[in-house]
């Protein structure tokens, strides 16, 4: 019984994995065709498939590393710091990620300020009906 369930789960996982792999393969194919157009260099299908496979496995490694980094910092959530640590090898990638991180941080702060204003307005509104409700109940 359990084995069957496990087998079913495995099959599910496998199919899920296959779908993910297919998605990656498709994306890699698009990128490779763009690169081929830029550099006038043709890429065979086997090469594209190899690149897709390597990308998929590297993504698995990245996920494991991210989890290890988060655990190393005694956190249970993966942080942008973990991502930066992961991308430290490639300077350009690191720069890109840090820039993106700053952008996102700015957006977050902006959103927070907006949300605060909204919340304050909402609180005022909600307090009055609550008070009214309370008064009514008392009565």
Partner 1 sequence: MEGSYIPDSEPTTRTLLRRLLDTEDPHTPRGRQSTRASARRTPLETPFSMRLRSQTKTTTRRHSHGARSIGRLAHIQTSGRLKEQTPRTLLENILLTAPESSMVVPESALKPVPAPQVVQSPSGESSRGSLELQLPELKPPTTLAPGLLLALGKRKQRLRLSEFQQGVDQELPLSPGPLTEPHGNAGASSLTSSLNLALATPPVPQSVQRPGLARRPPTRRAVDVGAFLQDLQDTSVALALPGDSLRTPVATLPTDTVLEDTQPFSQPLIGRSPNVRHSLPCPSSSAERTVGRRTQSSGPRLQNNSPGRPDQLLVGKAEEVDALAVGFPNTSNSSSGEDGLQPLQDGVGEEAEDVMEESLSMSDEEEAAGAQGSARAEEPKTHKEGTEAEGSWGATEAKELEGPSRDKDTAGRTGSPELTSITLEFQQARQLEFLEPAQPTSTAVLPPEPLSARRPPRARTAGPRLRQDPYKTGLSHYAKLFSFYTKMPMEKAALEMVEKCLDKYFQHLCDDLEVFAAHAGRKTVRPEDLELLLRRQGLVTDQVSLHVLVERHLPLQYRQLLIPCAFSGNTVFPAQ
The correct pick among 13, 57, 88, 116 for binding partner 1 (CB under 8 A) is 88
CB 57 within 8 A of CB 71: no
Return d(Cα 127, Cα 139) in angstroms, integer: 18
To partner 1, the closest distance from the beta carbon of 116 in angstroms equals 30
Cβ atoms of 66 and 78 within 8 Å: the answer is yes
Q: Does 83 bind partner 1 (CB under 8 A)?
A: no
The CA-to-CA distance between both ends of the chain, in Å, stands at 62
Q: Which of 2, 4, 39, 74 binds partner 1 (CB under 8 A)?
A: 74
Segments in 40-90 forming alpha helices (H): 45-72, 80-86
Q: Which two tokens stand for residue 7?
A: 């087998």
Which window, 8-16, 22-30, 46-54, 62-70, contacts partner 1 (CB under 8 A)? Answer: 62-70
Among 81, 99, 102, 110, binds partner 1 (CB under 8 A): 81
Greatest CA separation for the chain: 83
Q: Stretches 30-38, 43-51, 64-72, 105-113: which one binds partner 1 (CB under 8 A)?
A: 64-72
Which residues of this chain interact with partner 1, rule CB under 8 A? 65, 68-69, 72-74, 81-82, 85, 88, 91
């Amino acid at each position: 019984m359990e084995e069957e369930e496990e087998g079913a789960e495995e099959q599910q996982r496998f199919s899920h994995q296959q779908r993910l792999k297919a998605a990656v393969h498709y994306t890699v194919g698009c990128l490779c065709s763009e690169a081929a157009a830029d550099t006038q260099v043709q890429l065979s299908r086997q090469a594209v498939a190899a690149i897709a496979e390597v990308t998929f496995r590297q993504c698995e490694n990245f996920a494991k590393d991210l989890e290890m980094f988060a655990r190393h910092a005694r956190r249970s959530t993966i942080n942008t710091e973990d991502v930066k640590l992961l991308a430290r090898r490639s300077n350009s990638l690191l720069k890109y990620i840090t820039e993106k991180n700053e952008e996102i941080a700015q957006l977050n702060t902006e959103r927070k300020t907006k949300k605060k204003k909204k919340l304050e307005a909402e609180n005022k509104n909600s307090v009055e009906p609550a008070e009214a409700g309370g008064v009514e109940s008392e009565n």
